[in-house]
Chains A and B, each alone.
Chain A
């Protein structure tokens, strides 16, 4: 016969007597799920606008420069989607999995996110270079040097790019810290 555990029962009573719950919890859930749906719509909208816009532009202005640009837009979108799909393989995050499995998948996703950062950096350099070359070849009427010192080019190279690099670096540090925390948690919970 199971012996009553007075110590455990006492602790359970003390523990379960603490039951303060934020009063607006359900309201917060409604807000949170609306934000989630808006986030998904935003991702699709960006792809549709960029890719669809490029196609529409090529249809309205059948010129070689427009064709080159719209083709490049779709090539870059394709590369981004392929990279995203490959990085997500095996890292599906079922919310209700066991804690041990959750930590393993979280570590994998963190590592994939770190890889994705490098891919994004390379894509940024490639796309930016393509855009500058395209603008120079089809739009500029000056020498290369004069083109590179135009205010908008300088603004892009000297202001926008370093700012984005700083954000990239900050996010990469945050991901590395998160990865270290997760690895530490895995060690703590494996005992």
Chain B
């Protein structure tokens, strides 16, 4: 850990917090938005969740002492707020259980999907994954390493590897 970085974070005025949050959002807003989309289908609900995440980051920032990377800090908060959000809703995303037979949803191979369509298809597939796989996959797709994913979720790297292996099998069936 960079001790100078830790000292820098530990004494933040309100204006500094606002500047830090603005800087963090400029760098990571798209990632947070994609993560919200992985948990919630409806656009209005996604916007609510995203604002919830950002407010939580704002509240947590003054207590951040650099004990993990900035990205780990953000993704922990984002996943935690997403969990809090979906547990308070009566209905949340219908998930594919691992035992269900998954119909081959792949399109006719002769039809080339646009990049935009492929992206939407990937999001739809991720939204249908069981929660433990969905959490791991979204972090993998954001480019986090096994150790970073383990750090965010509070599980071992071995567990991360096992979840990702199974998640990829499910994604291949859904895509």
Which positions in A face B, CB cutoff 8 Å?
A: 7-8, 11-12, 14-22, 25-26, 28-30, 32-33, 36, 94-103, 106, 174, 177-178, 181-182, 185, 188-191
User: Is B8 close to A, CB under 8 A?
Assistant: no
Interface pair A106/B50, CB less than 8 Å apart: no
A-B contact pairs, 19 of them (CB 8 A): A11-B122, A11-B171, A16-B34, A18-B119, A20-B33, A25-B51, A28-B54, A29-B25, A94-B60, A94-B63, A95-B77, A96-B80, A97-B154, A98-B151, A98-B153, A100-B155, A101-B154, A102-B80, A191-B163
Give Cα distance in the complex from A20 to B163, angstroms.
Answer: 28
Interface pair A28/B51, CB less than 8 Å apart: yes
Interface pair A21/B29, CB less than 8 Å apart: yes
Give Cα distance in the complex from A7 to B22, angstroms.
Answer: 34
Residues 75-100 of B, flagged 1 when their CB comes within 8 A of A and 0 if not, give 01101110110111010000000000
CB distance from B105 to the nearest CB of A (A): 15
Which positions in B face A, CB cutoff 8 Å?
A: 18, 21-22, 25, 29-30, 33-34, 37, 47, 50-51, 54-60, 63-64, 68, 73, 76-77, 79-81, 83-84, 86-88, 90, 115-116, 118-120, 122-123, 130-132, 135, 140-143, 151-155, 163, 168, 171
Closest A residue, CB atoms, query B30? A19
Give Cα distance in the complex from A189 to B136, angstroms.
Answer: 10
Give Cα distance in the complex from A30 to B58, angstroms.
Answer: 9
CB distance from B68 to the nearest CB of A (A): 8
Given A14-B115, A16-B142, A29-B58: A96 and B132 within 8 A (CB)?
A: no
Interface pair A25/B83, CB less than 8 Å apart: no
Interface pair A96/B87, CB less than 8 Å apart: no
Interface pair B51/A188, CB less than 8 Å apart: no
Interface pair A33/B142, CB less than 8 Å apart: no
- B90 CB contacts on chain A under 8 angstroms: 177
Interface of A is mostly: helix
- B118 CB contacts on chain A under 8 angstroms: 14
Given A98-B153, A178-B88: A22 and B119 within 8 A (CB)?
A: no
Closest A residue, CB atoms, query B151? A98
Contact for B84 among A20, A28, A106, CB less than 8 A: A106
Interface pair A15/B119, CB less than 8 Å apart: yes
Contact for A106 among B25, B64, B83, B143, CB less than 8 A: B83
Give Cα distance in the complex from A98 to B78, angstroms.
Answer: 11
Interface pair A36/B77, CB less than 8 Å apart: no
Interface pair B171/A99, CB less than 8 Å apart: no
Give Cα distance in the complex from A8 to B143, angstroms.
Answer: 10
Given A33-B58, A182-B87: A98 and B171 within 8 A (CB)?
A: no
Give Cα distance in the complex from A16 to B30, angstroms.
Answer: 8
